[in-house]
């Protein structure tokens, strides 16, 4: 499966892309979130891709990483909050010569450090942020969507033998599906809606259940 993730990651971060490949980005997060690929080797693949000499590849990879941090929960956070990962990430600011890479890296680190401020298990992220601030790096102000991320981290995907809403039992014909907003498991009929989830950094419309669709639509109207 690691090979499959590497292939999807390379497609999502191809140097010829002129705009984000949200299809590929979501696929990367889904593969990790669903447990189809283990988080550790996937984050190692992302970490390696961040060292690419082409800044377009690095920028696309930063989008994949940002979506993974915002949508895959602890399994990704624990890989990012390591000395090795933070050392490489810091180098994107101190060693990379492209401003777009530096600025995006600073923006992401700022968001993570704020979201993890009270989580001692992710101390490495907060410490890296503080050390860089002390070293005089100028962090951008937090974007509203990132502030929303701090409040909410996408839930892990549930598993089960039946649809969470109508209780129909999954079979070869009644396939499992997941709502990207609540992480619960549904049949196709109960999760046929799609919508963007900016609170999780997802700008592309993705599958959601009826309840989350109505709830998020109502919130957007407010
Ligand atoms: O179709 P399958 O081969 O059963 O695979 C399912 C699809 O990948 C679903 O994606 P989706 O939620 O985007 O439909 C995912 O939510 C399920 O966990 C998988 O079991």
> Would you tell me how many other CB atoms lie within 10 Å of the CB of residue 64?
26
- What is the CA(185)–ligand 1 centre distance, in A? 9
Ligand 1 atom, smallest distance to 191 CA: 12
Report CA 177 to chain centroid distance, whole Å: 19
- What is the CA(177)–ligand 1 centre distance, in A? 5
Q: What is the interface pTM, i.e. ipTM, of the complex?
A: 0.90
Q: What is the pairing mode between strands 202-208 and 193-197? A: antiparallel
List residues near ligand 1 (CB under 6 A): 34, 175-178, 207
Q: Which of 69, 180, 71 has its CA nearest to residue 122?
A: 69
Look up the pTM and report it: 0.77
Report CA 61 to chain centroid distance, whole Å: 11
Q: Mind listing the pLDDT tens digit for each residue in 188-218?
A: 999 999 999 887 778 789 999 999 999 888 7
Q: What is the pairing mode between strands 185-186 and 193-197? A: unpaired
Q: What is the pairing mode between strands 193-197 and 177-178? A: unpaired
Q: Mind listing the pLDDT tens digit for each residue in 29-79?
A: 999 988 899 999 999 999 999 999 999 999 999 999 999 998 898 899 999
């Amino acid at each position: 499966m690691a090979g499959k993730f590497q292939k999807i990651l390379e497609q999502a971060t191809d140097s010829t892309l002129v705009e984000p490949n949200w299809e590929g980005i979501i696929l990367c997060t889904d593969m990790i979130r669903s447990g189809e690929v283990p988080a550790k080797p996937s984050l190692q693949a992302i970490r390696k891709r961040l060292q690419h000499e082409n800044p377009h590849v690095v920028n696309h990879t930063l989008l994949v990483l940002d979506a993974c941090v915002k949508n895959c929960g602890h399994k990704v956070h624990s890989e990012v909050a390591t000395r090795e990962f933070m050392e490489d990430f810091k180098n994107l600011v101190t060693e990379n010569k492209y401003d777009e890479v530096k600025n995006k890296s600073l923006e992401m680190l700022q968001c993570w450090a704020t979201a993890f401020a009270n989580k001692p298990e992710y101390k490495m992220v907060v410490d890296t942020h503080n050390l860089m601030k002390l070293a005089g790096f100028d962090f951008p102000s937090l974007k509203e969507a990132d502030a929303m991320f701090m409040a909410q981290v996408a839930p892990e995907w549930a598993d089960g033998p039946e649809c969470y809403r109508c209780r129909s039992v999954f079979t070869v014909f009644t396939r499992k599906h997941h709502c990207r907003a609540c992480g619960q498991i549904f049949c196709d009929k109960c999760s046929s809606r799609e919508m963007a989830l900016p609170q999780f950094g997802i700008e592309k419309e993705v599958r959601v259940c009826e309840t989350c669709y109505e709830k998020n639509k109502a919130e957007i109207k407010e």
